[in-house]
Structure 1
Amino acid sequence: MRYAIYYCPAAGSSLAEFGRAWLAQAPHAIDLPGIQSGRMQALLANVRRYGWHATIRAPFALDTGVAYEDLRGVVMATAQRFPAVTLPLQLDRLAGFLALRPGSDSAAIDQLAAACLHALEPLRAPLAEAAFCRHVDGFDAVELGLMEQYGYPYVLDRYRFHMSLSAPATEPEEQILRDELTQHASTWSTAWVDALSICQEAVPGADFKQIERIPLRAERAA
């Protein structure tokens, strides 16, 4: 079992509704000219598994003797240290895939992610050597060091707030996706990061499910 700390848009918000429609589970819910249905399902499969979110703390297993209530307590304490943040979003390409990324300074979110990383580190089970070896290909020296220390390479200076929209696509496919997404920009152009969501992968390969949404401080950061 693994847990992750995500930003999941509040139910009923325009960003949540956009994500629900974009990642609709119905096999033929999204049918774009130029991308066959089966291919569209492949582009969305991994995004659907992890859910409509931005990673704050990447998935990890709890160490021996650590209970869910310990995790919950740390997340609640961290959430109370940070105010909610209004974040403009823009369509961007990150590591070969399309995502929504901050359209302005993201320092407040970066600080929140770093705080979660450090606060949760004592609860994390060490990454098994086999799992470590599976993931190190292509890492630079900094990322390798972060992987060794935190079990994940894209933290601290390498952290990038993003909401994934698809797997890597061909150039023609990406243009089709961009055109479609741009038509709906008014629904995804702003994120109100107002809570930390604890999400769970019950067994390896299962979909991540939100099990609790813990509010940040009510006032918004400037």
Structure 2
Amino acid sequence: MRYAIYYCPTADTALGRLGHDWLATSSTLPGVSTERRAALLADVRRYGWHATIRAPFTPVVGVTHDDVRRAVTALAHAFGSFELSLRLDRLADFLVLRPTMDGGQERALAAVCLDVLKPLCTPLAGDALERRSAGLDADELALLQKHGYPYVLGRYRFHLTLSAPASEPEEQAMRQWFESRVAALPPTRIDALSICREATPGAAFELLERIPLVASGMGHTS
């Protein structure tokens, strides 16, 4: 079993509706077969329409859902909601939605989440650590060894992944699908942390609960 802490837009928001339309099995993509489209979106559908705040982790033996919930609730009570404007972009080999400007609020939220949950997370070791070390630079490897994930702290980038790596024509078709829709998106309010769970290896992540960011004012309060 693994947990993850995400930002998951609700279905009644513009970003939530965009995700619903993109991931709907009835949607089509010109020049891309139904089977290929399903393959490109398989992982996005499994992990859900989200931006990662804390990447999936295996809880330490004895840690319960209530333990995770208490930690996330304490974090949510230390942050207020904030807004981000999103743009279509590329991150490594992936087409993604990213903030138009990299701000401090989403980075601070992810950094504190990493720290708060660290006592609940099983450290990576053995084959899992070796497997995930492939292709990382020295800084990413150090982050992986310390935190169990390489794209944290200075390497963290708030984003919503749109598909698996695609060919150039496939990516162009996806860009055409998204461009006008993303241009029309209003700013997205980051207003809650979602606790999600993968019950068994390879299962779809299930959204268990959204916990509102409720601190007064904007951003992190100390």
The TM-score by the shorter chain falls in which range? over 0.9
Distance 1:35 1:221 in 2: 43
Amino acid at match of 2:6: Y
| 8 Å CA contact retained: 2:78, 2:215 | no
Identical aligned residues as a percent: 53
Structure 1 residue matching 2:202: 3-state secondary structure: coil
List per-residue Cα deviations over 1:156-199 (Å, max 9, x = no partner). Answer: 00000000111111111111110110131255453210000000
**Count of matched residue pairs:** 219
| 8 Å CA contact retained: 1:194, 1:218 | no
Structure 1 residue matching 2:209: 3-state secondary structure: strand
Amino acid at match of 2:206: K
Runs of 5+ consecutive residues of structure 2 not aligned to the other structure = none
1:111 paired with 2:108, answer yes
Structure 2 residue matching 1:49: 3-state secondary structure: helix
1:84 paired with 2:47, answer no
Residues 220, 130 of structure 1: CA spacing in aligned structure 2 closer, same or farther, 3 A cutoff?
A: same
| 8 Å CA contact retained: 2:5, 2:195 | yes
Q: CA deviation at 1:220?
A: 5.9
Identify which range, 42-51 or 183-192, moves more after superposition: 183-192
Aligned counterpart, 2:6 = 6
Identify which range, 186-195 or 4-13, moves more after superposition: 186-195
Aligned counterpart, 1:211 = 208
Residues 43, 189 of structure 1: CA spacing in aligned structure 2 closer, same or farther, 3 A cutoff?
A: farther
Please point out which of 194, 199, 203 is paired with 1:202: 199
Identify which range, 157-166 or 65-74, moves more after superposition: 65-74
Flag the structure with higher strand content.
1
Task: Report matched runs for 1:1-222 at 5 Å.
Answer: 1-24=1-24, 26=25, 29-186=26-183, 188-217=185-214, 221=218
Q: CA deviation at 1:105?
A: 3.5
Distance 1:195 1:139 in 2: 31
List per-residue Cα deviations over 1:138-160 (Å, max 9, x = no partner). Answer: 00011111111111000000000
List per-residue Cα deviations over 1:83-107 (Å, max 9, x = no partner). Answer: 1010000000001111000002421
Q: CA deviation at 1:30?
A: 2.1
Q: CA deviation at 1:37?
A: 1.1
Q: CA deviation at 1:219?
A: 5.1
Structure 2 residue matching 1:213: 3-state secondary structure: strand
TM-score normalised by the chain length of structure 2: 0.94
Residues 220, 98 of structure 1: CA spacing in aligned structure 2 closer, same or farther, 3 A cutoff?
A: farther
| 8 Å CA contact retained: 1:86, 1:220 | no
List per-residue Cα deviations over 1:49-95 (Å, max 9, x = no partner). Answer: 10000000000011012111111001000011111010000000001
| 8 Å CA contact retained: 2:86, 2:182 | no
Distance 1:197 1:187 in 2: 25
| 8 Å CA contact retained: 1:74, 1:120 | yes
RMSD: 1.4
